[in-house]
Amino acid sequence: MRSLLRLAVAAVFLLLLAAPALAQGRLIIEDPGGRLDEAAIQRAARPLIDRGATVAVYVVDSGGANDFTERMIDSGIARDDGALLSTVVAIYVAIEDRYSEIAYGDEWSDALSVNNNAEVIRQGDLNPGLSDGDFTRGVTEALTAIDAAIEQPPTPGGGTTINFDPTPIVAGGLGLAAVAGGAALFTRRRRAAQARASAQQRLKEAREGAGAVIADLGRRFNDAREKARYDQVSYTAADAARVGQLQQQAATRFAEVQARFDDAGEQLNRYEKPSNEQLAAAAAAYDQVKLEAQEVSAALRAVEELRARLDEQARQAREELDRAKKV
């Protein structure tokens, strides 16, 4: 007994040690001009990565909102419609175009969307270093501020825990970044809202589609069970057994489909705020349930058709018997 207890304690300890590693994200750096100290960026990004964030840093010669989106798509952290994966934290700087932007996934919205906090960090932590030509400092301070915001999210309508440096950023040549960044932020948020609405609508249609087929099957199975009460007196023993076997097989598969429908909902309910990817996965699960329900529907239709043929045969037999009696 003690040996088993020691093994259990050791297993739990190993899981606790492994948990941070399993939760870790990753870091993407694109710096074709070699302006960044990558080791410093890695150190600054480590707390976010340990939280499970996918951190991406792009420092390029020229570009803008569209280039930022295309690079994130190419990196595999955004879909073709521009919607970000839920764990993304991305920083983009285009030197010649005096443009900077911070983008983030749904996972960090409480920290970065409240009070427009991402824009506060962009202007107060990222841009001052960029204005001085110290790109590493700008990026590392922005990453540190983002992690601090996640650790202690701002309250709606209140202040934040992020230090804001009001120094104008015009001096270093990024004077247009605030305007451009704000427009890009609006565009990205609109895309994100559209992607969210699309994912929610897709889930709604998949769930309702599966539910409609299951509801129809429920009514048909109720009818089939009612008719089965008279099979023994309506058909031969062999035919009644055949109908009963097929109906039981279809009913068993129907119960499995109902359980999968319930499981799809339970899996989604595990998430307090499902990401778009999780909504899509749930929609795919409901699509699979609908497909399986349609297969059950075909199996039940075979039972209904068999029962109809047997009923027709019984009717014809009665008519022949009646004619024989008249003769």
In a domain, 288, yes or no: yes
For the ranges 155-159, 197-201, 209-213, 228-232, the maximum mean pLDDT occurs at 209-213
Q: Is 276 found in the same domain as 138?
A: no
Q: Is residue 182 part of a domain?
A: no
Question: Percentage of the chain surpassing pLDDT 90?
Answer: 43
Model pLDDT, residue 24 = 61
Asked if residue 302 has pLDDT above 60, the reply is: yes
pLDDT at 106: 86
Q: Are residues 147 and 273 in the same domain?
A: no
Give the confidence band of 325 by pLDDT, cuts at 50, 70, 90: confident
Q: Is the pLDDT of residue 296 over 70?
A: yes
Q: How high is the pLDDT of residue 163?
A: 41
Identify the CATH number of the domain in which residue 123 sits.
3.10.310.50
223 and 141 in one domain?
A: no
Structure pTM? 0.49
Does residue 189 sit within a domain?
no
Evaluate if residue 19 carries a pLDDT over 70: no
Are residues 20 and 52 located together in one domain of the fold? yes
State the chain's mean pLDDT as an integer.
Answer: 81
User: Residue 184 burial (CB < 10 Å; 0-12/13-18/19+)?
Assistant: buried
Whether residue 207 is found in the same domain as residue 164: no
Of 55, 317, 309, 67, whose CA–CA distance to 187 is shortest? 67
- Quick check: is 86 in a domain? yes
**Predicted confidence band of residue 14 (pLDDT cuts 50, 70, 90):** very low
What digits encode the pLDDT tens for the residues 87-128? 999 999 999 888 999 999 888 988 888 888 888 999 899 998
Q: Tell me the average pLDDT across 264-272.
A: 87
If pLDDT is split at 50, 70 and 90, which confidence band does 327 have? low
Q: Model confidence over 138-194: pLDDT tens digits?
A: 999 999 999 999 999 888 765 444 443 433 333 344 444 444 444 455 556 566 667
- Identify whether residues 148 and 226 lie together within a single domain: no
Give the total number of structural domains in the chain: 2
- Does residue 222 share a domain with residue 154? no
Q: Which residue, of 175, 208, 241, is where some domain finishes?
A: 175
| Mean pLDDT, range 239-250, rounded to an integer | 91
Domain boundary among 175, 208, 229: 175
43, 135: one domain = yes
- Position 186 scores a pLDDT of 52
55-88 residue pLDDT tens = 999 999 988 888 888 889 889 898 876 778 889 9
Confidence at residue 113, expressed as pLDDT on a 0 to 100 scale? 86
Confidence band of 288 (pLDDT split at 50, 70, 90): very high
Both tokens assigned to 265: 């909902």
Q: Is the pLDDT of residue 261 over 90?
A: yes
One domain for residues 229 and 142: no
Q: Which one is predicted more confidently, 8 or 266?
A: 266
Q: Are both 154 and 205 inside the same structural domain? A: no
Q: Are residues 98 and 235 in the same domain?
A: no
Residue 183 within a domain? no
Q: Predicted confidence band at 276 (pLDDT cuts at 50, 70, 90)? A: confident
Whether 105 and 136 map to the same domain: the answer is yes
pLDDT, position 157: 63
pLDDT given at position 191: 67
Q: Residue 180 domain-assigned?
A: no
List the domain range (segments joined by +) for residue 156.
2-175
